[in-house]
Structures are given as structure tokens and as C-alpha cells.
Amino acid sequence: MAHLISLVVPVFNEEAIILDNLAAILRAASGDWYELELIAVDDGSRDRSTQQIEKAAAIDSRIRCVSFTRNFGKEAAIHAGLANAKGDAVVVLDGDLQHPPELIPQMADYWRKGLFVVEAVKADRGNERMHDGLFAYAFYALFRRFAGLDLRGHSDFKLLDREVVDTYLAFPERQRFFRGIIGWAGYPSAQIPFTVAERAGGATSWSKLKLLRYAINNITSFSSLPLKLVSLLGIGTLAFGGVIGILSLARKFEGKAIDGFTTVNLLVIIIGGAILISLGIIGHYVARLYDEVKGRPAYLIKPSKKNET
């Protein structure tokens, strides 16, 4: 019996390259013991990516297009791709050929040998700029410290067995970190090193601010340690206050009331800062709770046009 492997490709504003890339991905991913299908998830592109994907689908019937009503983000696109994939295994990869599709037959071989997750890990970070490297380094170091998961070099380029996909889809969680959840799940896995290729045209759509928000959300969705740090901060401030208090009282009983303007100023600033930072951290978690409790879907699929009759 032939196996079906689904390829999930998130697409956002890639009109210049997506038509050729989808064909190139299918060509490179082919193998003789499995069939392929490709789900291109158009994440609310503002250019003509949808039309390009539909064109690709008209040329090659293995390609399907799922379009969002607006931009919901790459995580949502991966989620929708997994939800629409029918394969016995699913491979998630970028649409800009930075995740070399030539690796897919090798990933499939590992899967056939019985592994549930096959991850392509970055041997190096390609020719990404230095400050990106530093940012990523800081993120993975913090993530390791806070969440206890070492994701260094990990990417979203992964093959998942149907079992893993179904488990992933059954999670009630809405705001997800794909890489983190698969790492956390701990299924038997293999790693294949790869070199991040240069982008095959177009430009990255991740601004520094978007990356920072993504990083903070991912850390706090895997760890409540920042909340505990708030208590530590409180204890620290209290201890500091205690020392200052005793010193001030001692001075007063000695009859040497000090010129306390600077001290008071400093205390107000330090305590005010500590309280506001703590509130910010708590506020962040409350916002995350609020988002999850509302239970809105992580994405909405654009309905296909109704026939005019």
C-alpha cells in the first residue's frame, strides 16, 4: 500500500517565488515508495500569492490551497496545514526554499524505520546577520533556562507521524509554539543536520518587534518562572527596605536625623519600578489567560466564493 506524505507550506506575501518554489519542493521531495500532497496555507497575503498558489494547483493536482481571511501568523498557518493534511506523515517546511526539500526523502526513510518525529536541525544559521544570531542565541538560552527545553538549532522543518499530528491537533491550546510543543512532547525522534539556504527571492516578513513579541510569548507559554521571579523581587525589595529602615531608625535614636531627601527619592524610584515591572509580568500572563479563555479560533479560513444563481 502506498503511503501518503503531506507537505505543509505556510505562505505570506511570496508572490514572486511561490509558483516555482511549490513545483521545486514537490520535485525534490518525491520518492518511489510514497505519494505526495502539498497544502499551501496562504496566511492572508496582501499580494497575489493566493492566485499564484491557485495557478500552481491548476498545474499540479497534488497542490491544495488553504487561504486565511487575514494574516494570523506562521504558527496559525502551520496549525491549519496540519489540520488539513491527510497524509500518514506530514512535513512542515518554509515556502522560500530555506528548508531544503531534498532532505524530505531522507526524512521519510527515518519515518519508515519507525520514528515518530524527524527534525531537520540547523548545522549553522546560514548567512543570517550577526544581530539575528545574537537575538536567537539569547532567546534559546532563556528558553532553555526557563522552560528546560534545549531548542538550539531547531526549526519548523519537521516530519511528524500521523499519531503526532493528531495529538497536536487535539491540544486545546490556541496560541502555539510548534517547535516547543514537539520538543516538549518527547516522541522518539531523529535529527538531520542541514544548512539554511539563502532565501530564494522576496524578503523575510519578521520585523525585530514581531520577533521580540514572538520570543516573549513563547517563553511565557512554556514557563511560569517569571511569575515566581516576581515574588523573589518582592523579597529582595523587602530585605533592602528592612536594612534601610533599621539604619534610619538607628540614626534617629542617635539624634542624628539625616538629610533623607536622596534616600527617599531612591526608594520611591526603586520600589515604584519593581512594582510596575511585577505588574507588567502579571499583566502579561493575565492577557494570555484572557486570550485562551475567550476561546476564539487560532485562524479563520476564507470561504470560497458562493455561486451566483
Query: Can you tell me which of 204, 231, 263, 265 binds ligand UDP, judged by CB under 6 A?
Result: 204
Q: Which of Mg ion, ligand UDP, none does residue 119 bind to, with CB < 5 to 8 Å depending on kind?
A: none
Quick note: the x/- pattern for ligand UDP over 64-93, rule CB under 6 A, is -------x-xx--x----------------
Measure the CA dihedral 27/94/176/120, to 10°. 70
Q: Which stretch binds ligand UDP (CB under 6 A): 94-102, 182-190, 251-259, 284-292?
A: 94-102
Q: Confirm or reject binding of residue 205 to ligand UDP (CB under 6 A).
A: yes
Query: Binding of Mg ion at residue 96 (CB under 5 A)?
Result: yes
Min CB(41)–ligand UDP separation in Å = 7
Distances (CA, A) of 301 to 71, 82, 111, 192: 11, 14, 30, 33
If the CB atoms of residues 3 and 55 are measured against ligand UDP, the closer one turns out to be: 55
CB 151 within 8 A of CB 221: no
Count of positions on this chain that bind ligand UDP (CB under 6 A): 16
Q: Which of 124, 206, 228, 277 binds ligand UDP (CB under 6 A)?
A: 206
Does the protein bind Mg ion through residue 21 (CB under 5 A)?
no
Answer yes or no: are the C-beta atoms of 89 and 178 closer than 8 Å. no
Q: Report the DSSP pairing between strands 89-92 and 158-161.
A: antiparallel
Q: Judged by CB under 5 A, does residue 13 bind Mg ion?
A: no
Residue closer to Mg ion (CB basis): 49 or 98: 98
Could you tell me where the DSSP H helices lie in the chain? 18-29, 49-59, 74-84, 104-112, 130-147, 162-170, 178-185, 208-222, 225-253, 261-294
Q: Dihedral, CA atoms, 266, 269, 273, 275, nearest 10 degrees? A: 90
178 touches 156 (CB < 8 A): yes
Judge whether 154 and 179 are in contact, CB under 8 Å.
Answer: yes
**Residue 101 touches ligand UDP, criterion: CB under 6 A:** no
Angle ∠(214,219,223) on CA atoms, nearest 5:
155
Nearer to Mg ion, 13 or 98 (CB): 98
| Chain positions contacting ligand UDP, by CB under 6 A | 10-12, 14, 43, 71, 73-74, 77, 94-96, 98, 204-206
| Chain positions contacting Mg ion, by CB under 5 A | 96, 98
